Structure 1
Amino acid sequence: MLISLDWLKQYVDIKENIKELDNALTMIGQEVEAIDIQGKDLERVVIGEIVEYDRHPNSDRLTLLKVNVGEAEPIQIVCGAPNHKLGDKVVVARIGAVLPGNFKIKKSKIRDVESFGMLCSEVELGLGENGDGIIILPQDAPVGEEYRKYAGLDDVIFELEITPNRPDCLSHIGIAREIAAYYGRKVKYPVANFTETIESTTKFAKVNIEDKERCKRYMGRVITNVKVGESPEWLKKRIRAMGMHPINNIVDITNFVMFEYNQPMHAFDLDKVKNGSVVVRAAKPGEKIITLDGVERELNNEELVIADEERPIAIAGIIGGVESEITAETKNIFLEVAYFEPSNIRKTARRLGIITESSYRNERGMDIEGIEEASERAVALIAEIAGGEVLDGAIDRYIEKPKKCEIPLSFEKLNKFVGKELPEDVVGKILSNLGFGIKTLSQDTLVVIPPVYRGDLTRTADIYEEIIRMYGFDNIEAIMPVEDIRAGLREASVELADDARKIIREVGLQEVVNYSFIPSNVVDILNIKDPVIPISNPLSEDMAILRPTLIWSLLANIRDNINRNQFDLRLAEVSRVFTPADELANEELRICIGLAGRPERTLWNPKPESYDFYTIKGYVEKVMEYLGVTKYRLSRTENPNFHPGRSAEISIGNEVVGVFGEIHPDVQEKMDIKRERVYIAELDLAKLDKYRKKTIKYERIVKYPEVTRDLAIVLDRDVLVGDMVESIKKISSLIEKVDIFDVYEGDKIDSGKKSVAISIVLRDKEKTLDEKQINDVVEKVLNMIAKEYKGEIRK
């Protein structure tokens, strides 16, 4: 946003120099990106008068002049321009001047005649596009005066970085309000004076808002018998200062008020509006409009347009149409000032690829209450400059008035937030200077009512920020707070997740981190029957839902690694899964382990075997042990994602806390995982946390020896060996550990049978076991196996 210092001074008294003002703007949050001192390239450029006029002796096209520049003797200049005569007041670049483009003026010889300067055109001074002739000034122009001072080119232009939440600062009055509040001064608002005729506006124009969702207010006024022409010099100067070219007095006035009030507006040639009927509506599919930039645009997305009875005449809030534009022949105008829904302006401007000063402001949100004031200011200027007649009354369609926000402010909380006790009268003055309404709620609390144009203020913290930036950050001393600093306890779920991550690293697994978003087709791949949570605005199809399981992510990791010829895969992830809930979502912390391939071949392991069911089982048991969960049961699972004969679920009591095993071939095929079997385990950490032994007790090393007995038991093939092992452990307190070290099925035993070799470790912590104790325990084990599992010693 460009701000002219000369223009700004019309609304607020500014006594500070450029550096001080730069600092003040930055301190109140309006960061200055650049400062352009106009006229800095016009040093030694002065006003002169042609006092002698002759033809160049060696050229028919050149003139030889004597020019009075306010010194004792006139200077000699050779000129090639066609538009000057004796007595003209001109602009002279004297020797030593450096014009825009680093063009240095030196003493020179032109066709053997010396020249001591140059008469300048607009192009040479960087002030315009007219290079056909030199600048001719009025006869009252003072000879010898600096041209930049005479032409008002000694302005300073500040380029400000206005944040998106402060559209009110995209104008000179907006910045004037900020400066006035900071320095405690008054804002001098412009006065709009004009006389209305007895004829009513509604006689010549009518307004109908069909799309009331995207247009909350529309005001129109009619000015007749205007004289469209060139703008006065002061107005052109203001427009140029904003980086724009003057067009004509009507258009320049609408732009001037936009930069003054931050209120875009548009003037239509009323005689080109069919029956003076203005309709705010959605565009019809296939409608076309030639916009002011000369481009024909087809409207297909129900863009908001301003139309008459036949066709669209403007794209609302963005750009006008050629068919209703102001021209030199325009006599009667319809002035539009409106509030359009910002999100609609933003979408339409991006889709059509049109970014204008109007769209830039409308998409950030206007001051809906300030529409009338801006309209009257523009009408007054049109009546003054273009000589128009203002018809009686305005057409004002006000659909929805904004609700004023009331924000409580506690002095005690404010002072605690700031870190300094601010006097109540100082706080009250700051709020009043900012234009806030104030009501007393209690002795310590105020109710603050921001003006409508401050839509960014909605909560108490916003008011704190306003007070601090106006009080001055440099006025708040840097004092270290005195706090009773103690280490706080970590949240239980965070501690559990950290413990799990530490465990997977300690058991030799590689931790992976995946996105919580997964493709929607995972529901079919993993046979998920429960509802999932879709993402309303997914970044891509691969991130369409929140994952209800970690299994797909580990399978995708394994697939991608195998495709890159990595075959020693021992991966694990600790993260959350998500399921629908009444308000937000249920988040469950889980650990997932994935195995595939075989260990790397080494000198001591030249023919490594592939990972199998017992490998994943070992990792699960080790993780459970490290977590402190010792009592659990393994049983066959019917989970359709796992191989039915090579998988198990983990239960504690009646609660299933996890599942592990070989992934079903159908799932592998859908995941496009080839060549390797994949083993996955997924454990619910939140459920496991309930059964953890969180207190670690030291147990001294037992000095008495262990005794091992190996048994080969023949069982029916369908007997679950895990259940049998659990039963063996319960027989005697002397049984320390039970391991399975072989399972055999073949021609050396009966069909339908299997041989299970188990190793039983016995130990008494108080004394050495004798043979009788050992034999008693073994006999009890064999009896229990025979009775409950129909097993017998293999002969």
Structure 2
Amino acid sequence: MKVSLNWLRELVDIDVEPEDLASSLEMVGIGVEGIEKVGDDFIFNLEITPNRPDCLGHIGVAREISAIYNRTLKIPEVYYEEDEEEAKNFIRVEILDPQLCPRYCGVVIRDFKIGPSPDKIKKRLEALGLRSINNAVDITNYSLLLTGHPVHAFDLKRLKDKKIIVRRAKKGETILTLEGTMKVLNEEVLVIADGERPVAIAGVIGGEESGVNDLTTEIFLESAYFNPISIRRTSKRLGISTEASYRFERGVDWNIPVYSARFCATLFHQMGGKIAKGIIDVFPNKIKLEPINLRSEKLKELIGIEVSPEKVEEIFKKLEFKILSTKKENGNILWSILPPSFRNDVKEEADLIEEIARFYGYEKIPSVLPPILLNEVHLDPVRERIISISKLLNYQGWNEIITFSFIDPEEDIGLIQGEPISIVNPISSRFSRMRGSLLPGILKTVSLNLNRNVEGGKIFEIGKVFWKSGEYKEKNHIALASFGKEREEWVKKREFSIFSLKGTVSIILSSLGFERHKFILKEKPIFEEPYSLSIFVNDKE
């Protein structure tokens, strides 16, 4: 976002070099991507984070500067003479969905002549990258750059039945936007409608059929607050991103619509317009701000230093936070803080502490590594045993593999002790059963390697198998497979045999403390005879 240094100096009394101001802004979290000299002014290109919509206007940035340099913020005064006839006689506003539009304000301008803007407004807009269009449109853009709050001007005579109705669109309704594109709407889109049809997509863009043109003499100026989530969804759904939607979807201040409307009315009055009496302000469900508690001990814990109570209160007053109460108890202080309506990013105690850290000065907070308390970690005994077996096999030249726990039922070799477990909603029929054995996976791996002309290898897997025997059960198993020829360089290569497998299993059992073990030939349906052995430990199979 671009801001003008001259404009900022009108809002806060500072006499600092542009580079020094940029450095100060960086220190409180407002990034400065560049500074450009334009005539007698300096234009700052700022990087505003999504949680700080209050800084999307000159007043918001000036407020930060006033807190940095301890200066008074000077909000432009609004003053104009009102006509005798009341605004409500020219337009009636109705909100049918207050959840999506909590507040809707407006003023009526009459006998206004569309023409070029004064040089000051025109030059300021152009310096900030906006093209001057006409005085009516320029006023809305000028107000946007000042307050960060979007406003929209309707041609009052083009609004049917003298009505503004804030409602959801009807399915299939269409609107021709100011960009000249026809958009088809649905019930999720909030629109501003007159007595017959939508005249604007709320918070996003106006409609061509109600827009201001060279023949306009009467204007209804909208200044509203819309639900940020609704605007974001509408903007994405319709593929329209505007300066207005960019701000509304981040959450603008719901208390600023009246000021924005009155500021614009002041400019319209200065350019010859007559302002109808009164401001229309429909605000059916008032938004209540909730106070946040701040504890001095939590403040010290999070930023690492002790900040004096006087400094804490001074910072909050600079930022327009209200201190509702202060309580002292056992050497600690408890503040009750009410954030301003324009700071919707401050929601909890940590947010308050961040504000103190920003303006106390990050550079004043020493960089100290937090103490690290090392606690002894105790592994699960089963897990420790698995790790020890895995390491032992690695030392013996075996490579560990990991295969899927889901298998094809056709690959189930029937070693399950109970019933197989089927997957209710499998990703594929090939992965529709929980494995009851590790053999399908390890045999598939052997086959894959042999098909790729691997000369030989030793692989193992340690993992869970699953079955159902009244209830669902799972257990850790180990499977080993050797294939092809041995790779030892100091002996003549030879085929792996059952005896090398038997030796490895014996080493595993001994490492686990099972010294008394033996192997006995026993026929198994799936193994080739006579290479099926059962293992007995302490005479138990």
TM-score (norm 1): 0.55
1:338 paired residue number: 224
User: Within 5 Å, which residues of 2 pair with 1:173-252?
Assistant: 173-252=59-138
Alpha-carbon distance, 1:394 to partner: 2.5
Greater relative CO (CA pairs within 8 A, separation 6+) = 2
Residue 488 of structure 1, aligned match among 354, 364, 375: 375
Partner of 2:469: none
Q: 5 Å matches for 1:738-749?
A: 738-743=518-523
> Kindly tell me: are residues 593 and 410 of structure 1, through their superposed partners in 2, closer, same or farther at Cα, counting changes over 3 Å?
same
| 1:133-212 correspondence to structure 2 within 5 Å | 153-212=39-98
| Cα distance in 2 for residues equivalent to 1:474 and 1:154 | 33
**Pairing 1:312-331 to 2, within 5 Å after superposition:** 312-331=198-217
Displacement, 1:396?
2.1
Partner letter of residue 426 of structure 1?
K
Trace 1:10-159 onto structure 2 (pairs within 5 A): 10-38=10-38, 153-159=39-45
Q: Is the 8 A contact 1:218 1:396 kept in 2?
A: yes
Shift of 1:242: 2.0
Q: How does 1:511-526 map onto structure 2 within 5 Å?
A: none
Verify the 8 A CA contact 2:460 2:481 in the aligned structure 1.
Answer: no
Residue matched to 1:510: 400
Partner of 1:473: 362
Gaps of 5+ in 2: 406-419, 465-473
User: Does structure 1 conserve the Cα–Cα contact (< 8 Å) formed by 2:442 and 2:481?
Assistant: no
CA shift, 1:740, in A, is 3.0
Matched to 1:510, the amino acid is E
| RMSD over equivalenced CA pairs, Å | 4.3
How far the C-alpha of 1:398 sits from its partner, in A, is: 1.6
Offset at 1:392? Answer: 2.1
Deviation at 1:297, TM superposition (A): 2.0
Corresponding position: 1:374 with 2:264: no
Distance 1:502 1:260, change over 3 A: farther
Look up the equivalent residue of 1:275 and give its one-letter code.
D
Shift of 1:303: 1.7
Match of 2:191 in 1: 305
- 1:420 positional shift: 2.5
> CA–CA distance in 2 between the matches of 1:374 and 1:309?
26
CA distance in 2, matches of 1:281, 1:393: 24
1:337-356 to structure 2, matched below 5 A, reads 337-356=223-242
2:168 alignment counterpart: 282
Residues 1:7 and 2:7 are matched in the alignment: yes
Deviation at 1:211?
A: 2.6
Instruction: Give 1:418 shift.
Output: 2.6
Change (3 A) 1:760 1:162: closer
Aligned counterparts of 1:561 and 1:354: Cα–Cα separation in 2 = 57
Per-residue deviation at 1:196?
2.1
Task: Say if 2:213 is the partner of 1:433.
Answer: no
Match of 1:737 in 2: 517
The structure-2 alpha-carbon separation of the partners of 1:440 and 1:594, relative to structure 1 and needing over 3 Å to count, comes to: same
What does residue 294 of structure 2 align with? 409
What secondary structure does 1:455 align onto?
Answer: coil
Amino-acid identity (%): 36
> For 1:711-738, what per-residue CA distance to the aligned partner results, in whole angstroms no more than 9, with x for missing partners?
xxxxxxxxxxxxxxxxxxxxxxxxx335
SS at match of 2:244: helix
CA distance in 2, matches of 1:255, 1:175: 17
Q: Is the 8 A contact 1:165 1:364 kept in 2?
A: yes
8 Å CA contact retained: 1:571, 1:593: no
Is 1:454 the counterpart of 2:343? The answer is yes
| 1:772-783 matches, cutoff 5 A | none
Separation in 1 of the partners of 2:357 and 2:9?
A: 25
Aligned with 2:212: secondary structure?
A: coil
Aligned to 1:292: 178
Q: Could you give the per-residue CA deviations for residues 34-55 of structure 1, whole angstroms, max 9, x where no partner exists?
A: 11111xxxxxxxxxxxxxxxxx
What is the SS of the residue equivalent to 1:740? strand
8 Å contact kept, 2:421–2:434: no
CA distance change for structure 1 residues 251 and 602 in 2, over 3 Å: closer, same or farther? Answer: same
CA positional deviation for 1:287: 2.0
> Aligned AA for 2:150?
P
How far residue 208 of structure 1 moved from its aligned partner, in angstroms, is 2.0
Q: Tell me the distance in 2 between the aligned counterparts of 1:261 and 1:242.
A: 15
Post-superposition CA distance 1:623-642 (Å, at most 9, x none): x997x799xxxxxxxxxxxx
Cα distance change on mapping 1:505 and 1:243 into 2, 3 Å: farther
What is the match of residue 468 of structure 2?
Answer: none
Match in the other structure for 1:362: 248
Q: Structure 2 CA distance, aligned partners of 1:552 and 1:452?
A: 63
1:527-546 equivalence runs, <5 A: 527-528=422-423
**In the alignment, what sits opposite 2:467?**
none
CA deviation after TM superposition for structure 1 residue 370, in Å: 1.5
- TM-aligned CA distance change 1:282 to 1:503, over 3 Å: farther
Deviation at 1:555, TM superposition (A): 9.0
- Check whether the contact 1:501–1:511 (CA below 8 A) recurs between aligned residues: no
Aligned position for 2:270: 384
Whether the aligned pair in 1 keeps the contact of 2:461 and 2:480 (CA below 8 Å) is: no
Alpha-carbon distance change, 312 to 421 in structure 1, aligned in 2, over 3 angstroms: same
From the superposition, tell whether residues 760 and 242 of structure 1 become closer, same or farther in structure 2 (CA, over 3 Å): closer
One-letter amino acid matched to 2:250 = R
Q: Does 1:423 align with 2:279?
A: no
**What code does the residue aligned with 1:742 have?**
K
Residue 410 of structure 1, CA deviation:
2.0
Count residues with an aligned counterpart.
492
- 1-structure distance, mates of 2:462, 2:521: 30
1:157 Cα deviation after fit: 0.6
Structure 1 residues 25 and 226: alpha-carbon distance in aligned structure 2, compared to 1, 3 A threshold? same
| 1:495-530 Cα deviation digits (max 9, x unpaired) | 976775564454445365999xxxxxxxxx96246x
Q: What CA deviation, in whole Å up to 9, does each residue of 1:593-651 have, x standing for no partner?
A: 797986354467766689xxx99x979x96x997x799xxxxxxxxxxxxxxxxxxxxx
Shift in CA distance, 290/509, structure 1 to aligned 2, threshold 3 Å = same
Distance 1:498 1:441, change over 3 A: farther
Q: How many Å apart are 1:403 and its aligned residue? A: 3.0
State how far apart, in whole Å, the 2-side matches of 1:377 and 1:556 are: 75
For the Cα contact (< 8 Å) 1:409–1:447, is it kept in 2?
Answer: yes
Query: Is 1:271 aligned to 2:271, yes or no?
Result: no
How many angstroms apart in 1 are the aligned matches of 2:153 and 2:443? 65
TM superposition score normalised by structure 2? 0.79
Q: Shift of the alpha carbon at 1:552? A: 13
Show CA shifts across 1:527-547 (max 9, x none): 246xx9xxxxxxxx979xxx9
Q: For 1:667-682, what aligned pairs fall within 5 Å after superposition?
A: none
- Provide closer, same or farther for how the CA distance between residues 760 and 227 of structure 1 changes in structure 2, counting only shifts above 3 A: closer
**Contact 1:741–1:759 (CA under 8 A) maintained in structure 2:** no
One-letter amino acid matched to 2:96: E
Cα distance between partner residues in 1 of 2:123 and 2:264:
17
> 1:599 corresponds to which residue?
483
How far off its partner does 1:210 sit?
2.2
* Matching residue's letter, 2:25: L
Q: Which residue of 2 aligns with 1:393?
A: 278
The answer for the alignment partner of 1:765 in structure 2 is none
The amino acid of 2:355's aligned partner reads: E
Question: For residues 392 and 403 of structure 1, what CA distance do their matches in structure 2 show?
Answer: 29
SS at match of 1:215: coil
Structure with a larger share of its residues in helix: 2
Residues in 2 aligned to 1:329 and 1:561: alpha-carbon distance in whole angstroms: 84
In structure 2, how many angstroms separate the alpha carbons of the residues matched to 1:553 and 1:251?
Answer: 74
Letter in 1 for 2:375: G
Q: Distance in 2 between matches of 1:296 and 1:592?
A: 64
In the superposition, relative to structure 1, how do residues 233 and 440 fare at CA in structure 2: closer, same or farther (>3 Å)? same
User: Which amino acid in structure 2 is aligned with residue 466 of structure 1?
Assistant: E
CA distance in 1, matches of 2:189, 2:439: 46
Higher-Rg member (1/2): 1
Is the 1:254–1:265 contact (alpha carbons within 8 Å) kept by the matching residues of 2?
yes
